[in-house]
Amino acid sequence: MSLMQSPMPWLLVIPLAGATLTMLLPDRWRSAASALGILSQLVAALLLSYQVIQSGPQIYAMGNWQAPLGIALRADGLAMLFILMSALVSSLCALYAQSYLKAEKRANFWPLFWFLWASLNGIWLAADTFNLYVGLELLTLAAVGLVAFAADERSLEASIRYLYAALLGSMGYLLGVALLYGAHGTLALDSLAEHWHWGPTSQVAVTLIVGGLLLKTAVFPLHTWLPPAHGGALTPVSALLSALVIKASFYMLLRFWIELDIYRHLPSLSQLLGILGAGAIFWGGWMALRQQHLKWVVAYSTVAQIGYMLLMFPLLTAGQSDASQLAYQGGILMLLAHALAKAGMFLAAGNLMICTGKPDLQALAGMSRYRPLTIFAFGLAGVSLMGLPPSGGFSAKWLLLQSSLLSGQWWWVVVLVLGSLLSAAYIFRVFAYTYRETGEEGDRFARPALSMELTALTLSVASILLGFAAMLPLQLISLPGPLMEALP
């Protein structure tokens, strides 16, 4: 198949070309080239989703080299959802960065931004475990570069911590892949699933892979690198990292979990992941409640929200088809709602910090009167994170709740409800600061550009609309494909 017949390779070619071109072009052309790239990415993503919806999962061999030596790409419903999600979030973050970053910084932002997007698409479309590794490493390098981009001491420290944690995680993953290849003689996910047999090697391999991915997803108690990295980076970068980058390793974990039938064979490991998730919900929420730095509140909230996504693993029980389906749908919807809401919340928080010129919560006094649009965006994102109806977060929690009742695991209901109360507490705490009046005049505040306020609002509104349109993503991920076959 040539490059022209499928939009799939373009989802990798365009961002890689964008990364190279934006490095080579003169500074003043870089933003224009990126705008063109973003538009063509959106077209390619829509074309591919049309193909997947019309004619089922698509396979593409890069340059006609067949696996195992060639690079095979695969797009099913779940991959499509992630491609569309990253297209939406990245393009809005790019729009925000265009106004947020000063011209000379922006020129260097674009190459890293495009590498980040290329590696995300590479992970969503990868059909074998080694391409997943390459995507994950490229993602790490781009993300660490973006964190260090803020160019102050704290962000440098955060980026070194992030890099070291991420390198350890991906090396653990690679060691697991090496053992899998030794035991099964294949790297492709579908043939691994076909020839899967449990033995000591497979068990060690799965442990290494799961451990590495948990470290990269910043699952409690391996989350300590996340708050400084996400809280200290520049605002559009924080949004990209929290909304998309941590989802990549989670997505890989999910694919392994379902396609290789881990959930059938290791129910105790599933429960362990659920317990880690519960720990993340409580610890992340508690720490978010204690922060004085606005972006650190949002960053710890990411730690807590990762916990909700992990709750889908113990609920994916073998034997109970309905409960598993609900858990799968609820988990994915939770992930999608978090991506939209958290990107919107980080961008809104960035706007607030531009207004006050200070990072701490104390400085927010009087802000609700001065910047109602941004506060509204922050609040809508908060509604989705708390899981109040009618937001995307609510639908997701509702599905997870039903699943835990159906499978008789009532204790996760308690975790869901208490966690929501905790998130309400830390979000209302931020609000309480904005309603305070200090008696000073409002005109000491700086004013963010209108496009920055609107991008934050668009993402937050999208996270609420997801509650009304939850059927669309759920239909997309329920399209026939390798993942759906592996679910009970």
Partner 1 sequence: MSSDLIFTFGGIGLCGLGLFGFIYHRHLLRRLIAFNLFGNGTFLILVGFAQQGQGNSDPVPQALVLTGIVVAVAATALALVLIRRWFQLKQATELPEDSQS
Q: Is 68 in the site for partner 1 (CB under 8 A)?
A: yes
Choice from 168, 388, 425, 465 touching partner 1 (CB under 8 A): 168
Q: How many residues sit close enough to partner 1 to count as binding (CB under 8 A)?
A: 36
233 — alpha (psi -120 to 50), left (phi > 0) or beta? beta
- Closest by alpha carbon to 210, among 156, 155, 154, 266? 266
Q: Is 4 in the site for partner 1 (CB under 8 A)?
A: no
Q: Is 20 in the site for partner 1 (CB under 8 A)?
A: no
Spatial neighbors of 55 by CB under 8 A, at least 6 apart, are: none
The DSSP code for 76 is: -
Rounded CA separation 486/488 (Å): 6
Q: Which of residues 70-129 bind partner 1 (CB under 8 A)?
A: none
Choice from 86, 159, 384, 434 touching partner 1 (CB under 8 A): 159
Residue whose CB is less far from partner 1, 312 or 363: 363
**Residue 319 C-beta: closest distance to partner 1, Å:** 35
Rounded CA separation 301/249 (Å): 18
Residue whose CB is less far from partner 1, 140 or 238: 140
- Closest by alpha carbon to 475, among 58, 11, 84, 120? 84
The DSSP code for 128 is: B
Choice from 75, 87, 89, 163 touching partner 1 (CB under 8 A): 163
**Residue 214 C-beta: closest distance to partner 1, Å:** 16
Q: Is 167 in the site for partner 1 (CB under 8 A)?
A: yes
**Residue 186 C-beta: closest distance to partner 1, Å:** 9
Choice from 227, 419, 467, 473 touching partner 1 (CB under 8 A): 227
Contacts with partner 1, 23-42, as mask; x by CB under 8 A: --------------------
Q: Is 130 in the site for partner 1 (CB under 8 A)?
A: yes
For residue 221, whether the previous peptide bond is cis, meaning omega lies within 30 degrees of 0, is: yes
Rounded CA separation 364/380 (Å): 18
Sign of CA dihedral 246, 248, 249, 254: positive
Residue whose CB is less far from partner 1, 156 or 405: 156
Q: Where are the beta strands (DSSP E) in 50-102?
A: 58-61, 72-75
Q: Which residues of 350-361 are buried (b: 16+ CB within 10 A; e: fewer)?
A: bbbbbbbeebeb
Choice from 16, 17, 137, 264 touching partner 1 (CB under 8 A): 137
Q: Is 141 in the site for partner 1 (CB under 8 A)?
A: yes
| Range in contact with partner 1 (rule: CB under 8 A) among 72-80, 106-114, 155-163, 450-458 | 155-163
**Residue 164 C-beta: closest distance to partner 1, Å:** 6
CA angle 36, 41, 43 (to 5 degrees): 100
Rounded CA separation 156/162 (Å): 10
| Range in contact with partner 1 (rule: CB under 8 A) among 55-63, 86-94, 286-294, 304-312 | 286-294
Q: Which of residues 288-347 bind partner 1 (CB under 8 A)?
A: 290-292
Q: Is 156 in the site for partner 1 (CB under 8 A)?
A: yes
Q: Where are the beta strands (DSSP E) in 173-293?
A: none
- For the chain, the farthest-separated pair of C-alpha atoms sits apart, in whole angstroms, at 71
Choice from 105, 161, 265, 429 touching partner 1 (CB under 8 A): 161
The DSSP code for 241 is: I
Q: CA Rg, the chain, in Å?
A: 21
- Phi first, then psi, for residue 188 (nearest 5°) are -70, 140
Q: Is 153 in the site for partner 1 (CB under 8 A)?
A: yes
**Residue 361 C-beta: closest distance to partner 1, Å:** 12
Contacts with partner 1, 171-210, as mask; x by CB under 8 A: x--xx--xx-xx--x-x-----------------------
Rounded CA separation 22/32 (Å): 10
Binding positions for partner 1, rule: CB under 8 A: 68-69, 130, 133-134, 137-138, 140-141, 144-145, 148, 153, 156-157, 159-161, 163-164, 167-168, 171, 174-175, 178-179, 181-182, 185, 187, 224, 227, 290-292
